[in-house]
Structures are given as structure tokens and as C-alpha cells.
Chains A and B, each alone.
Chain A
Amino acid sequence: AQSVAQPEDQVNVAEGNPLTVKCTYSVSGNPYLFWYVQYPNRGLQFLLKYITGDNLVKGSYGFEAEFNKSQTSFHLKKPSALVSDSALYFCAVRDRNTGFQKLVFGTGTRLLVSP
């Protein structure tokens, strides 16, 4: 069964600094990987996904993520953080080799960007 680990409950960064939110995954086959963001009292919003091809994926709001198969990681990054990026971030994985694949989420990482 697939699983996702987000080792940091919270990441603190100053505005203008680069940010990284870590994610590692486990699947029996090859993964499809996703990042979602959740603002207070809102549903999950899609940020980006890795399906195949280039290991560096660019998504919404200036975020990007790098797929590293050998380290089974899919870390979320942004070169320059904004206060408005403060939110809860979820990494998720699907196993592309199984039918009716469900999306399995990590426990989430709270990003706090200080002015």
C-alpha cells in the first residue's frame, strides 16, 4: 500500500527567503505525486503534480517540486516566500500501476512565513 511521510509538522521561514517542505513516499509501483495547499476553512487546492518526464515540476503561485526516484522524495520549493504562502501543505501519492487508484495524503506541514 502506498504511503506518504511529511517529517516536519511546521516550517518557519522569513519573507523573501527560499522555502522547502519535505515529502517522501512509498509505493509498490511507479508514483504519481501531488502537492495541495489548504487555507483556513477552505478545501484543498491543487498546486502541482508529477506524472512523468522532467523531474522538476513547476506549479501555481511560483511553487515547484523535484521528483527524486532514488530518494523517493518530492520536496516542495519556492525561491522567495511570501507571507500569503502561510498555509497547510499536503503531499499525496497515487500508485500508477494499480486500478482505481486512490490518492493517499501525508499528515501535512504547516508553513509559517514571517514578515
Chain B
Amino acid sequence: EAGVAQSPRYKIIEKRQSVAFWCNPISGHATLYWYQQILGQGPKLLIQFQNNGVVDDSQLPKDRFSAERLKGVDSTLKIQPAKLEDSAVYLCASSLGTESVYGYTFGSGTRLTVV
């Protein structure tokens, strides 16, 4: 089966600019996650979708970050305006469902550098 696709792989922007990341999960996976991985830290969940509905966005900085999953398939994560501390790898993952027994499949990530 095809994996989780993410684009772009790398992005460099200046602070206060906007940026968007795209994720295409594994076909049939109802649950989609966006994680932020800052260098030297473990991944931190930003937002979790079940189909096209949000089930957890408690750690999403909503003043600058937004995400959507139209039609319950692809998802985009946007940052506007970006800050230096947003420099990180943004990982998308998907799973069959929200039940704990399901593992996640991660994409390769988008490395964002804010200068």
C-alpha cells in the first residue's frame, strides 16, 4: 500500500510570512494527525481529525495555526504568520481509526525553517 504522502519536503520562509503543508493519508484511514517535532524533542500532537471533523486540537496555537481536512481525505496545515520558534519538522500520520490498537503510519515530514 502507498504510504502517507507529504509535501513539500523542505521549506524556508522569513518570519511573519505564511506557509502551508499538505498531507495525503493512506487510503481508507479515517484518522489523521499532525505532529510538530522540534529539534531535540519528541513529536507533539497539534491536531487530530476523525474523517473531516476535529477531535483534538488542544495543543494547536490557534492564533497562527489552522488545519482542515476537506472531504475527509487530504489535509492542509497552515501557519500565518510564522515565528522563529515554528522551525520544526511537521509530521502527518494516519490510522484506521481512533482505537488504541491501531498503529500510526507516518509520512516523511516537512522540515520548516523560519529565518
A103 / chain B contacts, CB cutoff of 8 Å: 33, 45, 104
Contact among A4, A49, A100 for B55, CB-based, below 8 A:
A100
Taking a contact as CB atoms under 8 Å apart, the answer to whether B100 and A32 are in contact is: yes
Instruction: Please provide the chain A residues from 60 to 111 with a CB less than 8 Å away from any CB of chain B in the complex.
Output: 90, 92, 94-96, 99-108
Chain B interfacial residues counted at CB < 8 A? 25
Q: Does B106 have its Cβ within 8 Å of any Cβ on chain A?
A: yes
Question: Bound state CA distance, A96 and B98, in angstroms?
Answer: 11
Known: A100-B48, A100-B50. A42 touches B56 (CB 8 A): no
B109 / chain A contacts, CB cutoff of 8 Å: 42-43
Instruction: Please provide the chain B residues from 66 to 110 with a CB less than 8 Å away from any CB of chain A in the complex.
Output: 91, 93, 98, 100-101, 103-109
Question: Bound state CA distance, A46 and B4, in angstroms?
Answer: 13
Question: Bound state CA distance, A36 and B44, in angstroms?
Answer: 14
**Residue in chain B with minimal CB distance to A105:** B42
**Residue in chain B with minimal CB distance to A52:** B101
Known: A43-B109, A100-B48, A100-B55. A107 touches B41 (CB 8 A): yes
Q: Does A11 have its Cβ within 8 Å of any Cβ on chain B?
A: no
CB distance from B85 to the nearest CB of A (A): 17
> Which B residues are within 8 Å of any A CB, using their own CB?
4, 33, 40-45, 48, 50, 55-56, 91, 93, 98, 100-101, 103-109, 111
User: Please, could you name 20 A-B residue pairs with CB atoms under 8 Å apart, sorted by A?
Assistant: A36-B106, A41-B111, A43-B106, A43-B108, A43-B109, A45-B106, A49-B103, A90-B42, A92-B42, A95-B100, A96-B100, A100-B50, A100-B55, A101-B100, A102-B56, A103-B33, A103-B104, A104-B45, A105-B42, A107-B40
Given contacts A34-B103, A107-B42, 6 further A-B contacts (CB under 8 A): A43-B108, A44-B43, A90-B42, A90-B43, A96-B100, A99-B98
